[in-house]
């Protein structure tokens, strides 16, 4: 995971920008354009920036991360770009996020879910709390394979394991794309995208 500058932008936190096409991931979510969106565990916020471009100036795009320097960098970045509808928030997905219940229509987490091995239920409960009824939580993460990159295999979870965890919180799987992300040597893709809906 890059901790260096990327494409001339500042990065003091993590970014998958160099190997994940966030636009392609966002296009799979079939956004209508009027959603309140969140890039949760946003790192440098590149997915939030693409989401803002897709949704337009009237949208609200939250970019949340627990790493304060990433949030401070993103605040400066959006100000420099003159973007007023990306709202960077410092907060812990597995703790407390400073938002009212049922605020967000669509939450996307790219390469974040594998951080919740120890506190899966806390994280899902908080994601569920801030999601509107009918809203969606999308998890994009590394396939459970020993590809030699990404987190250690023991931290990777299969879509079935992720589904089981969300099911405990009453969230229903509504989409599973098994070939997403970076192309691997054998022609398959590195990631999956699994989407849950709150009733
Ligand atoms: C691997 S990076 C991915 C960043 C970004 N989503 C991307 O794909 O470029 C994981 C990010 O999740 C954030 N993170 C990890 N645990 C978190 C938590 N409990 N609450 C909020 N953010 C968290 C980290 O600070 C880091 O920025």
Which residue's CA is the nearest one to ligand 1's atom 24?
41
Which residue's CA is the nearest one to ligand 1's atom 16?
115
Ligand 1: does its nearest atom lie under 6 Å from the Cβ of 111?
Answer: yes
Ligand 1: does its nearest atom lie under 6 Å from the Cβ of 131?
Answer: no
Query: Please, what is the Cα angle at 198 between 195 and 199, to 5 degrees?
Result: 130
List, for residues 110-169, the tens digit of each pLDDT value.
Answer: 999 999 999 999 999 999 999 999 999 999 999 999 888 899 999 999 999 999 999 999
**pLDDT tier at 13 (50, 70, 90 boundaries)?**
confident
Q: How far is the CA of 138 from the centre of ligand 1 (A)?
A: 14
Residue 21, Cα to own-chain centre: how many angstroms? 13
Q: Dmax over Cα atoms in the chain, in whole Å? A: 45
Where do the domains of the chain lie? 33-197
Name the residue of 16, 41, 124, 151 to mutate for ligand 1: max ligand atoms within 8 A of Cβ: 41
**pLDDT tier at 4 (50, 70, 90 boundaries)?**
very low
Mean pLDDT of 63-80: 97
For residues 112 and 131, give the distance between their C-alpha atoms in angstroms, rounded to a whole number: 17
For residues 117 and 194, give the distance between their C-alpha atoms in angstroms, rounded to a whole number: 17
pLDDT at 189: 95
Q: Phi/psi at 143 (nearest 5 deg)?
A: -60, 155
Name the residue of 2, 14, 120 to mutate for ligand 1: max ligand atoms within 8 A of Cβ: 14
Q: How far is the CA of 92 from the centre of ligand 1 (A)?
A: 10
* DSSP-derived 3-state class of residue 159: helix
pLDDT at 2: 40
List, for residues 37-58, the tens digit of each pLDDT value.
Answer: 999 999 999 999 999 999 999 9
pTM of the model: 0.95
pLDDT at 12: 60
Residue 2: burial class (beta carbons within 10 Å; 0-12, 13-18, 19+):
middle
Does the pLDDT value for residue 10 go beyond 70?
A: no
- Residue 63, beta-bridge partner list: 39, 88
For residues 95 and 98, give the distance between their C-alpha atoms in angstroms, rounded to a whole number: 10
Which residue's CA is the nearest one to ligand 1's atom 27?
43
CATH 3.90.1140.10 fits 33-197, yes or no: no
- Residue 197, beta-bridge partner list: 136, 172
């Amino acid at each position: 995971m890059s901790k260096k500058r990327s494409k001339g932008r500042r990065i003091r936190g993590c970014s998958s920008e160099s190997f994940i096409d966030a636009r392609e991931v966002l296009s799979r979510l079939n956004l209508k354009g009027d959603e309140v969106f969140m890039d949760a565990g946003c790192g440098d916020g590149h997915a939030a920036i693409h989401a803002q471009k897709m949704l337009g100036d009237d949208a609200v795009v939250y970019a949340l991360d627990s790493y304060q320097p990433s949030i401070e960098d993103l605040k400066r970045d959006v100000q420099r770009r003159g973007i007023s509808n990306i709202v960077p928030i410092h907060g812990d997905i597995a703790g407390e996020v400073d938002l009212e219940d049922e605020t967000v229509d669509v939450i996307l987490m790219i390469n974040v879910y594998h951080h919740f091995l120890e506190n899966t239920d806390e994280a899902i409960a908080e994601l569920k709390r801030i999601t509107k009824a009918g809203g969606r939580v999308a998890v994009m993460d590394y396939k459970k394979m020993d590809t030699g990159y990404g987190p250690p295999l023991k931290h990777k979870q299969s879509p079935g394991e992720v589904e089981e965890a969300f099911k405990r919180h009453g969230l229903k799987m509504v989409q599973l794309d098994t070939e997403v992300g970076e192309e691997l040597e054998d022609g398959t893709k590195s990631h999956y995208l699994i989407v849950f809906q709150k009733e």
